[in-house]
Chains A and B, each alone.
Chain A
Amino acid sequence: MLGSIAKLLELYPDAKVVIEPSSDPHNYNFLISGQWVTIKKDHLSNREKFLLSLVSQDNNNKSINNQWWNFLVHETDKIPAEKINVRVLQFEVQKLESDDRANEWLSVFEDTFDDVVDSFWINKYTGILIEKETNTNMDKLEVQRMIELVDSDFYTKSHVYVGQFWPVNDKLPNIFDMERQLFHKSLEMKERVNNLSTVILDFLIEQNLKNTDMFKSLKNKIDIDSKTTQMINTLYKCDSNLAKTSKMLFLHRNTLLYRMEKFHEQTGFDLKDRDDLVLCFLLLK
C-alpha cells in the first residue's frame, strides 16, 4: 500500500502526504490506503483525477471481503439480494481515535437506521451502509441530524453521501461507480450530508466546464468577493424574487437593485435575466 503512495510521489513530485485533506482550493485530495495525498489541480487533467480515484479504490478493495462490496465494485456478478430496492450511504469519518472506536462508531451509526442490509468499512476513514427501501427511511435532513449527534459523542467530523434508492440488479454496480464519484466530489463541499441534488451541479461543472478556457475567461470577468457570491447565491435560491432576496440579505430593495446594476455594468451579466443569473451561479461553482 505504502508502495503505491511512493510511486505516486515519484510520478507527481509536487504531491504531498498530509494528515487532513488540504483546504486550498487549488489542490486536489485523494485518500489512498488511509493517507490523504494532495496534488496541485493544475498538474492533473480530469482524466488523471478520475484514474487516480479509481486506483485508490482498487487498492482498498483488496482487503475487503464483503459480498455487497464485491458486487458493487464489479468483482462478482452474484447479486447479493433480490426483489428489494436499496440505497448506498457512503461516509468518511475524520478524527476517529482508534480502530475499536471506528467499529463502535459504525455500530452506533447503523443503529440509527431501521432497515440496514449491511455496513462495513472500506478503509480506515471511509465506509458504506446499505439500506433497504421502506416507508420509514430517513431523509437527508434526518441523516444530517443523526450524523451531528454521532459526531458530537465521538468527537468526529463526518461527511455522508446519501445515494438514491435503486433495484438490486446488474445495473447497480455501474450506478455505484457514478455515486462513488459524486461522493468524492461531495467531500469538497461545505455541507456534511449531501445527495445527488446537492452535488450534481458542482460535479458536472468540474467534469465538463471548469478547466475550459471559455469558463476560466468568463470567471475572470466576475469580481468574486463574498458579497457578490452571496448576492448571486441568494438570488438563485429565491428564484430571482427581489423582495425575498433583499429580505434574506437584509438589504433595502433599492440597494440590491443598485448592486445588481453595478454588476451588470462591470460584467455585462444582467442578474434580472434568469439565464444570466444561472450562468453566474454556475461560474461560482
Chain B
Amino acid sequence: MVEIDLNHIYKRYANAEENNYAVSDFDLHIKDKEFIVFVGPSGCGKSTTLRMIAGLEDITKGELIIDGKYENDTAPKDRNIAMVFQNYALYPHMTVFDNMAFGLKLRKYDKDKIKEKVDYAAKVLGLTEYLDRKPAALSGGQRQRVALGRAIVRDAPIFLMDEPLSNLDAKLRVSMRAEIARLHQELHTTTIYVTHDQTEAMTMADRIVVMSMGEVQQIGTPKEVYESPKNKFVAGFIGSPSMNFFDVHYKDGIVTDSEGLTLKLPEGRSKVLDEAGYDDKDVTLGIRPEDIHAEGAMEETFPEATVESEVVVSELLGATSMLYSRVDGTEFVAIVDARDYHKPGDKVRLTFDLNKAHFFDEKTTDAIR
C-alpha cells in the first residue's frame, strides 16, 4: 500500500529570479496502485516534479508525503522508488544480465537473490534469451526493455517513468505502451508516468495531470479531461487532431465571427452563456473535429448550425477521413465517415453539433459552464 501526497509543491532553480518558479503550487493525492500521467509541452515542469518525488531535485516549498511520512529530506536511495528515464542508456561493457543486476550488486544483495530477481524481470519482459548479450547487440526496443528491467529488479512499490518511450519509433511505441500497461497490472506498483504525448496519457492513465508553464491546469480521468476541459489550454492539448477554436461574438443565441461564420446555438447552450453573463460578448467557441458532421441527417436536425465550406486538404484514413475545410476566412478540421470523403476544392455542407461545443472566456481562457 503506497499513497503519495504532493502538498503545494514549488520548485525554483538556484539561478532563477525570486518569483520565477519552474513548478508552482503542485497539489495532488495519488492513490495506491494508481497509474498517474503528467502530461504537457516541454518545459512545463512535469519532469521536474517527477525528479522532486525521486529526490533528484530539492523541493523549494511544500511537502512530499509518501505513506504518511514526510519525505522532503529523505535521500533518494531511501525512498524505495524505481525510475525509468527517457534515455535508455545501458553500461556498454556489461551484459544485459549485469546491467539489470548492477544496482542490486551495489546494494550488496546476495548472488542467488540477484539471479532470481533478474530472471524474473527477464521473463516478464521477454529478455531471457538476451541475458548474455551486450547492449550494442540489442535493438532500441530491447534496450528500453532492459532499462525497464533495471527498474523492475528493484522491487520498489513506486515506479517513476520519465518519457520512457519518446526515443522509440512510432510502431514500437504503441507496442511498448501496451507492455507498460500490462506490467503495471502485473506488478501492482503505484506509477507516475511523464509524457508530452497526449495519446500516451489518454491510453495509459487512470488519471491525467495536465500541466503548462509550471502549473497544474487540470487533474482528472482521461474521459473527464477530454469531455470537460477546464480551460482552452487543456481543450487544445488533449485530443488529436486538436479541438477547433473560433473567436466569436455571442448575441441572442447566435455566434458569429469576423470571417462570415454564423451558427445558432441550441437552447441549452445559449442558456448557459446567458446565465454566465456572456450575452453580447466575445467568447472562444471550441468544437472537436469528430463533432462536425457531413451526414444529411445531422443537417436536418441542426439546419442553423450547418455551413457551406470548401475542402482545402483531405486525408483518407480508412474508416474515417479528415477534411481540413474553410468557410470564408475561417479554417477548421472535421473527422467524417470515409463515405463522406471529399477532394480538395469540393464544396461540402458540414454541421456543427453544438450540443457538444465548448465555450471559453476570451481573456481568462477558462471554460464557461
On A, residues with C-beta under 8 Å from B are 20-25, 29, 95, 97, 104, 108, 111-112, 141-142, 144-146, 148-149, 151-155, 157, 188-190, 202, 224-227, 229-230, 233-234, 248-250, 252, 254
Contacts of B42 in A (CB 8 A): 248
Q: Is B352 an interface residue (CB 8 A)?
A: no
**Complex-state Cα separation, A157 to B233, whole angstroms:** 34
Contact of A23 among B14, B91, B150 (CB under 8 A): B14
**For chain B, which range describes its interface: under 10, 10 to 19, 20 to 34, or 35 or more residues?**
35 or more
Contacts of A23 in B (CB 8 A): 12-14, 58, 60
Q: Tell me, rounded to whole Å, the shortest Cβ–Cβ distance linking A230 to chain B.
A: 6
**Complex-state Cα separation, A111 to B153, whole angstroms:** 23
Q: Is B166 an interface residue (CB 8 A)?
A: no
Q: Tell me, rounded to whole Å, the shortest Cβ–Cβ distance linking B1 to chain A.
A: 24
Q: Tell me, rounded to whole Å, the shortest Cβ–Cβ distance linking A65 to chain B.
A: 29
Q: Is B29 an interface residue (CB 8 A)?
A: no
Contacts of A227 in B (CB 8 A): 213
**Complex-state Cα separation, A157 to B56, whole angstroms:** 6
> Across the two chains, which residue of chain B brings its CB closest to A20?
B58
Q: Is B325 an interface residue (CB 8 A)?
A: no
Contacts of A141 in B (CB 8 A): 87
12 pairs, A vs B, C-beta closer than 8 Å = A25-B17, A97-B77, A148-B89, A152-B83, A153-B106, A157-B76, A188-B15, A226-B21, A226-B22, A226-B213, A229-B17, A249-B41
> Across the two chains, which residue of chain A brings its CB closest to B99?
A149
Contacts of B240 in A (CB 8 A): none
Q: Which 10 A-B pairs have the closest CB atoms?
A: A155-B77, A145-B89, A145-B87, A155-B76, A188-B15, A149-B89, A153-B103, A23-B14, A188-B14, A190-B13
Question: Is A144 a contact partner of B87 (Cβ separation < 8 A)?
Answer: yes
Q: Tell me, rounded to whole Å, the shortest Cβ–Cβ distance linking B95 to chain A.
A: 14
**Complex-state Cα separation, A230 to B40, whole angstroms:** 14
Contacts of B77 in A (CB 8 A): 97, 155
Contact of A112 among B12, B15, B91 (CB under 8 A): B91
Among B22, B41, B87, B89, chain A packs the most CB atoms within 10 A around the CB of: B89
Q: Tell me, rounded to whole Å, the shortest Cβ–Cβ distance linking A169 to chain B.
A: 31
Contacts of B89 in A (CB 8 A): 142, 145-146, 148-149
Question: Is A148 a contact partner of B75 (Cβ separation < 8 A)?
Answer: no
Q: Is B97 an interface residue (CB 8 A)?
A: no
Question: Is A25 a contact partner of B18 (Cβ separation < 8 A)?
Answer: yes
Question: Is A189 a contact partner of B20 (Cβ separation < 8 A)?
Answer: no
Dominant secondary structure at the A interface: helix
Known: A148-B85, A250-B237. A226 touches B93 (CB 8 A): no
Given contacts A25-B18, A104-B106, A250-B41, 7 further A-B pairs with CB under 8 A are A95-B75, A142-B89, A148-B85, A149-B87, A149-B89, A152-B85, A153-B106
Query: Within residues 34 to 86 of chain B, which ones have a CB less than 8 A from any CB in chain A?
Result: 41-43, 55-56, 58, 60, 75-77, 83, 85
Known: A104-B106, A190-B13. A111 touches B93 (CB 8 A): yes
Known: A23-B12, A148-B87. A224 touches B17 (CB 8 A): yes
**Complex-state Cα separation, A95 to B56, whole angstroms:** 10
Q: Is B92 an interface residue (CB 8 A)?
A: yes
Known: A112-B91, A149-B90. A224 touches B19 (CB 8 A): yes
Query: Within residues 2 to 33 of chain B, which ones have a CB less than 8 A from any CB in chain A?
Result: 12-22, 24
Contacts of B233 in A (CB 8 A): 250
Q: Tell me, rounded to whole Å, the shortest Cβ–Cβ distance linking A191 to chain B.
A: 10
> Across the two chains, which residue of chain A brings its CB closest to B77?
A155
Q: Is B120 an interface residue (CB 8 A)?
A: no
Contacts of B22 in A (CB 8 A): 190, 226
Encoded as 1 (CB less than 8 Å from any A CB) or 0, chain B from 208 to 236 comes to 00001110000000000000000001001
> Across the two chains, which residue of chain B brings its CB closest to A22?
B14
Known: A22-B14, A153-B106. A224 touches B76 (CB 8 A): no
Contacts of B150 in A (CB 8 A): 152
> Across the two chains, which residue of chain B brings its CB closest to A233?
B43
Q: Tell me, rounded to whole Å, the shortest Cβ–Cβ distance linking B201 to chain A.
A: 14
Q: Is B245 an interface residue (CB 8 A)?
A: yes
**Complex-state Cα separation, A120 to B212, whole angstroms:** 42
Among A112, A151, A153, A226, chain B packs the most CB atoms within 10 A around the CB of: A226
> Across the two chains, which residue of chain A brings its CB closest to B232?
A252
Q: Is B102 an interface residue (CB 8 A)?
A: yes
Question: Is B245 a contact partner of A252 (Cβ separation < 8 A)?
Answer: yes
Question: Is A230 a contact partner of B106 (Cβ separation < 8 A)?
Answer: no
**Complex-state Cα separation, A111 to B102, whole angstroms:** 14
Q: Tell me, rounded to whole Å, the shortest Cβ–Cβ distance linking A203 to chain B.
A: 11
Contact of B15 among A25, A111, A155, A249 (CB under 8 A): A25
**Complex-state Cα separation, A32 to B12, whole angstroms:** 25
Contact of A155 among B16, B20, B75, B212 (CB under 8 A): B75
Question: Is A108 a contact partner of B91 (Cβ separation < 8 A)?
Answer: yes
Q: Tell me, rounded to whole Å, the shortest Cβ–Cβ distance linking B281 to chain A.
A: 17
Known: A97-B77, A112-B91. A154 touches B106 (CB 8 A): yes
